[in-house]
Amino acid sequence: MNTPSQNRQFKYYDFVMAAYVCVLLCSNLIGPAKETTILLPFGGSVTFLAGVLFFPISYIFGDILTEVYGYGRDRRVVWAGFAALAFASLMASVVVHLPPSDASRAGQSAVEAIFGNTPRIVLASITAFLCGTFVNSYVLAKMKIWTRGRWLWTRIVGSTLCGELVDSILFYFIAFYGRMALPHLVAILFTQYALKSGWEIVATPLTYRVVAFLKKAENEDYYDINTNFTPFSLKT
């Protein structure tokens, strides 16, 4: 068990950060543009936003970052993702509201449909992301101490269930409360929650392999014993 200094350099940390931000942006900007319905093999169907297929990958990265590098370094990545998401939302708003040229006027409705999220949706997305991600990292870091580094699957699953629950509740209530019937809102919320959490649980074997590789390659296995868990810091 190592305690890294603030100036320590890692071989793969920057690559994991870049991948995390990329997945976060794509899942929030591209995924929500399409609602899909898939027929289930045992009968019935399930309807969800396409982003649900990819957004949980950001939580997998969060698990990997916290498990290997510690809560502090994951916190820096979360704020980098927040800044990228906030700028992308601002850019999308400016692009949508710029007057189209005569040649592009016919495609304006498509641009608005894909990138024209309302301020309420943007607020819901950013708030849910920040709170859910920090809960996920906090629970994993604490569980690692409690389990003395054993049973990785318990903290992967446990942190995911906690983080995704906070994310789902905040997003759907901020974005849609008062705009749809409460029973329907709750049903959609828990459907999305089950899909996102189930996705990450299925991906647990892959998470195991990536964590094992990074711990060996970086010679790092961080325990957040004396960590200040405030979200409002960039210290490692």
Domain edges within the chain: 13-218
Nearest Cα residue to 174 out of 184, 163, 164, 185: 185
Position 224 scores a pLDDT of 97
d(CA 64, CA 209): 10
- Topology (CATH) of 13-218: Arp2/3 complex 21 kDa subunit ARPC3 (1.10.1760)
Q: Write out the two tokens for 73.
A: 């370094």
Amino acid at 73: R
Q: From residue 169, how far is each of 2, 60, 162, 181, 208 by CA, in Å? A: 36, 19, 11, 15, 28
Please state, in angstroms and rounded to a whole number, the distance separating the CA atoms of residues 112 and 106: 11
Q: Note the pLDDT of residue 33.
A: 63
- Separation CA 233–CA 130 (nearest Å): 13
**Local confidence pLDDT in tens for the 236 residues of the chain:** 554 455 678 999 999 999 999 999 888 877 666 777 888 787 778 777 777 888 889 999 999 999 999 999 999 999 999 999 999 999 989 999 999 999 889 899 888 877 887 788 889 999 999 999 999 999 999 999 999 999 999 999 999 999 999 999 999 899 889 988 999 889 889 988 998 899 888 999 999 999 999 999 999 999 999 999 999 999 88
